[in-house]
A = this chain, B = another copy of it.
Amino acid sequence: MRRCVITVGDLGEFGVIARVSRRLPQGEAVLLGPGDDAALVSAPDGRVVVSTDVLIEGRHFRRRWSSGYDVGRKAAAQNLADVAAMGGVPTAIVVGLGMPADLPVAWVDELTDGFRDECALVGASVAGGDITRCDTVVVAVTVLGDLQGRAPVKRSGARPGHVVAVAGELGRSAAGLALLQSGRDPYEGEAKLLEEAVGVHLRPSPPYARGPEAARLGASAMIDVSDGLLQDLGHVAAASGVRIDLDPESFAVPEAVLAAARELEADPLDWVLSGGEDHALAAAFPPDVALPPAWRVIGGVSEGEGVYVRGRVTGPGGWDHFR
């Protein structure tokens, strides 16, 4: 019996838009949702945080590894994390989609549900979007957020004497990617831990609430760890005009990373220091700030430049999209 798959081309542009819109509940911050030339989103303190990210099939995700739902969760997560890294609370995202005509509509449904569910974690909604035809799947997300009256926590405020701390776990996404690339069945061996690493790679879990928390605590600088801890702290060091020293002994290497390292005979610290896409938050705080347990101090700020590990200077060691 031939199974009939409904594609994006079957429904057409406006059919897909109508179908997607029906799956999207709108939160309080959305004053006017999908269906007009533009959406209208509340910006309570008279300013709006905005960030954008583009994900390209074959580069940021593979449909063989990631379901539509995974891609929606991940694309939303990496944008929402950017708002958290400024100390803000996300209010809405808008999504631009490029898709081939033969893409099953079920995949778009899943993608939409992924956006919806990740946004729901922070009380945000998908307020609008655009779809168009493209040979590969392109997902362009822009996120809006609210600083609740606070100053943005920039990359440039770290000062000598401040501590560097991380909220969220590092290395699991890179370990998961390495497992996927190895072609091993992640359900073998230390199944549950390996599965966790792969799961984090496909659907990261940024510690969203820690961003506004850090801002309230008085963080002097903050960044979303998307390209690898060394590279991202390199941006903080450069923007702040300071040196950052990291002490790997103070890191909490996740069990899943240790398990993947055993499985693949790799160095777990490489993934922790240089792996991207975990979307943990790294921040600098004045030394007198009493940090809640979710923040783990991993280093300190001094005069100078660059990022050092055990006293040795490090290269960028992260991800450059053209290198």
Chain A residues with a Cβ under 8 A of chain B? 8-9, 11-14, 16, 31-32, 35-56, 59-60, 82-83, 85-86, 88, 92, 94-98, 101, 127-136, 138, 140, 142-145, 147, 152, 154-156, 222-224, 239, 320-323
Is the CB–CB distance between A321 and B47 below 8 Å?
no
Roughly how many angstroms separate A16 CA and B22 CA in the complex, as a whole number? Answer: 39
Tell me which of B32, B54, B101 contacts A138 (CB under 8 A): B54
Is A37 a contact of B138 with CB atoms below 8 Å?
no
A163 to chain B, nearest CB (A): 20
Q: Which of B13, B50, B95 contacts A322 (CB 8 A)?
A: B13
**Are A133 and B54 within 8 A (Cβ)?**
no
Q: Which of B14, B38, B98 contacts A50 (CB 8 A)?
A: B38
Cβ of B128 and Cβ of A52 under 8 Å apart? Answer: yes
Residue of B nearest to A49 (CB): B38
* Known contacts A31-B47, A37-B222, A40-B50; 10 further A-B pairs (Cβ under 8 A): A14-B320, A36-B156, A40-B49, A50-B94, A50-B142, A56-B132, A132-B321, A133-B322, A134-B138, A140-B140
The CA of A94 and the CA of B53, in the complex, are separated in Å by 10
* Beta-carbon nearest neighbor of A231 in chain B: B14
Question: Most chain-B CB neighbours within 10 Å: which of A11, A37, A45, A101?
Answer: A37
| B130 close to A37 (CB less than 8 A) | no
CB contacts (< 8 Å) of A145 on chain B: these are: 38
Q: Which residues of B contact A44 (CB under 8 A)?
A: 46
Partner of A323 from B13, B144, B321 at Cβ < 8 Å: B13
Contacts of A147 in B (CB 8 A): 40
- CB pair B39 A49 closer than 8 Å: yes
The interface residues of chain B lying within 8 Å CB-to-CB of A11 are 322
A132 CB contacts on chain B under 8 angstroms: 54-56, 59-60, 321
Some 13 contacts from A to B, beta carbons below 8 A apart, are A13-B320, A37-B83, A37-B155, A40-B147, A40-B152, A43-B43, A50-B94, A52-B96, A54-B96, A54-B132, A56-B132, A59-B133, A96-B140
**A321 partner, pick from B51, B133, B143, beta carbons under 8 A:** B133
Question: Min CB distance, A166 to chain B, in Å?
Answer: 15
A138–B95 alpha-carbon span in the complex (Å): 14
